[in-house]
Amino acid sequence: MCDRPKIQTNGRPVTRDGGRSAIGFDPRGPDRPDTREARAVIRGAVLDLDGTVYRGDAALPGAAETVATLRERGVSVLFCSNNPTKTPAEYVDRLAGIGIEVDESMVLPASTVTRDYLRDHHPEAPTYLVGAPSLASYLADAGQPIVEDPRAASVFVASWDDQFGYDTMADALAAIDDDTVFLGTDPDRTIPAEDGLAPGSGAVINAVAGTVGREPDRVLGKPSAEAAEEALDRLGVPAGECLVVGDRLDTDLAMGAAHGMTTALVLTGVADRDDVADSDVDPDYVVDSIAEIPQLLE
């Protein structure tokens, strides 16, 4: 663990300068104003899933116990994933299988962030999707008009698609012009696979962008503002009272850092300590696994 001071859930402020908490003790004397930065109490936690709560089909040690401890201490927990192929209902079942009970309202995958963005900004727009069949069904069930002809689309959504190829790039050229809304579900360039890493949504989005010579208008999922705002809204806490726990510096922790949340990197997934040294994102905490999170809250 890193040597930064602990965050708390008992209502006491904590300093981030390594000093003692300003509870009955002021090292600068009674007549000097307290100008030290204080971190607000933690009342909400955003937990990444793959690489943080579980890896593959197995729960990571201490995950269920950590979630239980957070809840016992009055911390609301939201599970947030950049996987655009799964629905909240599927995550509810998966989490139940590793001993974590949750309802759909506290699960926020990239599929839902994308659905909600389309519903809020382009609810009736003909939409062409490069993505998994499960995402197409999820969006269609929510009322989004999904079209098969790329030329009929005014919105083009790029996502993870294991069938991506030359024909897909041709469809992108047919669909996307200066007036087309070009969206990506999430920026993850790689995703964990049984034998290492596999291309993720970010690889598909980048290929489409390179083909059409234009960057997406929005890339949703973490670390986007849309994902952060929806996460905070569901938790019902301000950013300064939220802890983000994840294994990716460029998505999980970047979202937290950009929005004033406390961040904790776990070393059970993508990033390691060498990555921290090379990253523009400076985690508040670096821990070996999610099992250590309760120690930060004591």
Question: Quick one: pLDDT at residue 34?
Answer: 37
- The CATH architecture that domain 121-219 belongs to is 3-Layer(aba) Sandwich (3.40)
Q: How many CB atoms lie within 10 A of CB 110?
A: 30
**216 contacts: CB under 8 Å, gap ≥ 6:** 158, 182, 183, 184, 205, 209
Averaged in consecutive runs of 10 residues, what is the pLDDT profile of the chain (298 residues)? 49 32 26 41 96 91 98 97 96 96 97 98 98 98 98 98 96 96 96 81 98 98 98 97 97 97 95 94 96 91
Q: Strands, DSSP E only, in 12-163?
A: 14-15, 38-39, 44-47, 54-55, 58-59, 76-81, 107-109, 127-130, 155-158
Q: Is 51 left (phi over 0), alpha (psi -120 to 50) or beta?
A: left
* Four-way CATH pick for 14-28+36-82+223-296: 1.10.3720.10, 3.40.30.10, 3.40.50.1000, 3.40.50.300: 3.40.50.1000
Please tell me the predicted confidence (pLDDT) of residue 7: 56
pLDDT at 9: 53
Number of H helices, E strands in the chain: 10, 16
Half-sphere exposure of 276 (CA within 13 A, CB side): 17
Q: pTM for the full model?
A: 0.87
CATH 3.40.50.1000 domain residues, the chain: 14-28+36-82+223-296, 121-219
